[in-house]
Chain A
Amino acid sequence: MILPNASKNENDMLEVMEAFKRQSRLSNVDFDIREHTNYLLLYLANPTNRFFRILNQTLESIPEENPYQQHTTIKKRPKYPSERLLLSEVQLLRTVLSESLTVTQHSFEDDFFSRYTTFGAEEQIKSHGNHIVYGRRGAGKSSLLAFFMHSLRQEKKPYAWVAMQTYNDREDIHIVTDVLMEVVEQFQKYNIASADLNKARLKLESLADETDDNIVENQLNRLRPKIRKALALIAENYGSIFIFLDDVHLIKQERQPVLLSHLYAICRDNRTFLKISCIEQFVKTYEQFSRQGLEKPYNAQEIKLDYNLTMPEKSKNHIKSILDAYAIYCALPDISYLCGKSVLDRLVWVAAGVPRDALYIFSQAIARSTMKDEKKVSISSINAAASEMAEGKLRDMQQDVFGESDEVKHILEKIRCFCVDEKRKNAFLVEIKNENTLFAKIQQLIALRLLHVLHEGITRGKAGHRFMALMLDYGFGIRAARSVDLLEPKALTSHALRKLPIFPLS
């Protein structure tokens, strides 16, 4: 960008700054000039190696005639700005938080590791074994799979990634055909056994129009050994290969064991391993009657990724470390630069320990606090942002609960009436009865983050009767209902929980 009325020196400076802004994605950069040496200083709250790399790349693209090509550097802001939320680093953080809400195999690509926060399950997922990763929506299942996938990508090791979102709502047998086709196509690029894989792909393509399920099943069964043999050649060359299936719960439950069965057949004893993510309450990995699918723990081991409100400190530490990683990525010292400790406590509480919900709420709260001219993110902005999340969660319900969303919604409303209108509480107890249909639906509401577990099992009264303590999500007008006696994190003692009203299962 050249300004006609600016001096050559100003335009030279502008050239460097515009290029740096483009590469760093910062909307603005505070700067200064050391007049004696004509050195351009760009100010960031926390200049990390990543930003120096961006500056070095920027300067390499600037012509040598520009004196700032040699005379530009980054410095830490000399003092804390009073209006931190207006910093371009914070604007970048909002953008990055919003990008992080959906993790796919392409998320962040080369930048993945500089944003990733470990969960403690990384070594497990990298091991030679089949794994099923469980967790609520937003718990970090896809991130964990993506962590391993990016590690393989860096090491140039073969893998196939299937996003099951593509097959959302489907229940036909051709889910298997299509998933196998994706797997085969992705492994073809490794140029080993590609002729065999190509034959398999053509055969799978020819099956696409077949309407008789039995014929398709039969053909798939016949094709499996051929695919297995081709994958064995790739695995032999590279030591092992991996197939990622992200969000398997999105296909109809009856089809899940069938698909997993076919995939297991091509992987077993073949140095080929399955890494699967799903929401536990919406998945059936094994069908006892037909003996199809992955039987745990023999065929696959499970990894549970759920810090919830039963372990608030762990949840808080995990969410804080994720937010810190994003803050540092955006040239901020850490997340406490933008909020106090009590704000983070509140964030973890209203997000019920779900990392993605916390990121979304925090991002929205930045916008709210900025609008209110607050110096830092406030608790009231966190509360307001959490209250607005309900709609999104109800949308998730439509996707995750096949054909039963009205029923689940009805049960949620029943619980809401019981808590808010009748008992004036935002939390309640429910007896643990695993065979009870209503209890199963309540489990689904937990998986959908509409109810949050405060205690996995406490006793009250009669021996042998155990209760789960649950809290209604903040998004259901609870804060607006002034008459409700809100359970606060500090009141989370067993004594206080035992006093909660019991929601009847009959």
Chain B
Amino acid sequence: MKLKSPHILPASSNTRKMLENIRHLLDQKACDAIQDEIDKNVKALFDLGLEHFNFAKQTPSQYWRQRISRLYYGAYNVRRALQLHYSGEYSTDVSDHKKIYDMPDDLPNNSTYKRRLVDIREDRNLADYDHSASESDLTLTQDEAEKIVTDFIADVRTFLMNRGISL
């Protein structure tokens, strides 16, 4: 998946580092404009996560594969929003899923989320690809997965808003 140019995100492999390294060349107004553009993308990624999450919530529990899959993508995109804001990282590569573990140390309950998001990723792989699996093979029940993603989204929302992101 490629973002259509011109776009702030493909302009650098790390937007935070980019801004830090061009700050001396630009005036404050220009820097603020770049930061605003990054923040808009943080919000858009967060909203994308919410969309997946809301879809999962309204899906009947008999479609456990769909629910688990959407819950994972809900959490995954909210985490992408978090990382873009916090460390400047943005990736569309499939390997980014393996980094679901990376999150700020000062995010509340981060140790729980680190482990649980890995659990949900494993469950999502099972739900999406394993034709022989049944719901009882999931590590987390649907309710457990929904609860943890709900909590994660709430904590990330507070974290980002406390750092000046309008969501």
Contact = CB atoms under 8 A, between A and B. Distances in A.
B111 A49 contact: yes
A328 to B, nearest CB: 14
A73 interface: yes
Contacts of A48: 112
Contacts of B114: 52, 56
A25 interface: no
Contact of B118 (A36, A41, A47, A70): A70
Contacts of B112: 47-49, 52
A55 interface: yes
A74 B144 CA distance: 12
Contacts of B132: 36
The DSSP consensus for interface residues of chain B is helix
Contact of B139 (A41, A49, A53, A55): A41
A34 B137 contact: yes
Contact of A36 (B109, B133, B140): B133
Contacts, number: 44
Interface string B98-141: 00000000000111101110110010001000101110010110
A460 to B, nearest CB: 55
Contacts of A39: 122, 139
Contact of B115 (A36, A37, A55): A55
Contacts of B126: 36-37
A52 B103 CA distance: 14
A53 to B, nearest CB: 4
Contact of B111 (A41, A56, A75): A56
Contacts of B115: 52, 55-56, 73-74
Contacts of B133: 36-37
Given A39-B122, A73-B119, A52 B111 contact: yes
A236 to B, nearest CB: 31
Contacts of B122: 37, 39, 71
B139 A34 contact: yes
Interface string B28-40: 0000000000000
A37 B137 contact: yes
Contacts of B139: 34, 37, 39, 41, 73, 75
Interface in A157-190: none
Interface string A397-431: 00000000000000000000000000000000000
Nearest to B110: A49
15 contacts: A34-B137, A36-B130, A36-B132, A36-B133, A36-B134, A37-B137, A39-B122, A47-B112, A49-B110, A50-B111, A55-B115, A70-B118, A73-B115, A73-B116, A74-B115
Given A34-B137, A70-B118, 11 more contacts: A36-B132, A37-B126, A37-B139, A49-B111, A49-B112, A52-B112, A52-B114, A52-B115, A56-B111, A73-B116, A73-B118
Which 6 A-B residue pairs are closest in the complex by CB-CB distance? A53-B111, A36-B137, A52-B111, A52-B112, A49-B112, A49-B109
